[in-house]
Amino acid sequence: MNGNGFRVTIEVPDIETMSDEQLAIVARMQDGRWSSQTKALLQKFEASKLDLNSGWASTWIEWSCPCCDRQKTQIARVSPGGVLTLPLGTAS
């Protein structure tokens, strides 16, 4: 550099190796297996397993459906086998 600028270093976390606790800090507005909202749903439904898709995980925790106005917590379902299902599709 010619001395007229700034050098900035950005450290990008490796989310593949992060614990749920670390992910909860880094992705606090997202809703994946690490979020307090998903953990609360697991308890509420007494589910032993979790099935969520990337649509669910990448959508803001406070999201609600623009068509039916249901919040994410109202969309969650548990299967007869005890699997908490958290599907959230995307329009194609």
Q: Is residue 2 domain-resident?
A: no
**Which pLDDT value is given to residue 9?**
94
Q: Is residue 4 domain-resident?
A: no
Which ranges of the chain would DSSP assign to H, the alpha helix?
20-26, 36-44, 54-57, 72-75
* Residue 84: both structure tokens together: 């908490």
Q: Is residue 22 domain-resident?
A: yes
Confidence tier at 92 by pLDDT (50, 70, 90):
very low
Q: CB–CB of 26/59 below 8 Å?
A: no
Q: Is residue 50 domain-resident?
A: yes
How many angstroms separate the CA atoms of 61 and 70, rounded? 12
The overall average pLDDT reported for the chain is 85
Q: Is residue 91 domain-resident?
A: no
Q: What is the pLDDT of residues 35-80, one digit of tens each?
A: 888 999 999 999 989 998 888 888 888 999 999 999 999 999 999 9
32: exposed, middle or buried (Cβ count in 10 Å: 0-12, 13-18, 19+): buried
Q: CB–CB of 56/87 below 8 Å?
A: yes
Number of structural domains (the chain) is 1
The DSSP 8-state label assigned to residue 17 in this structure reads G
**Which pLDDT value is given to residue 2?**
63
Domain that holds residue 65: 15-86
> Helix count (H) and strand count (E) of the chain?
4, 3
Q: Is residue 7 domain-resident?
A: no
How many angstroms separate the CA atoms of 5 and 2, rounded? 7
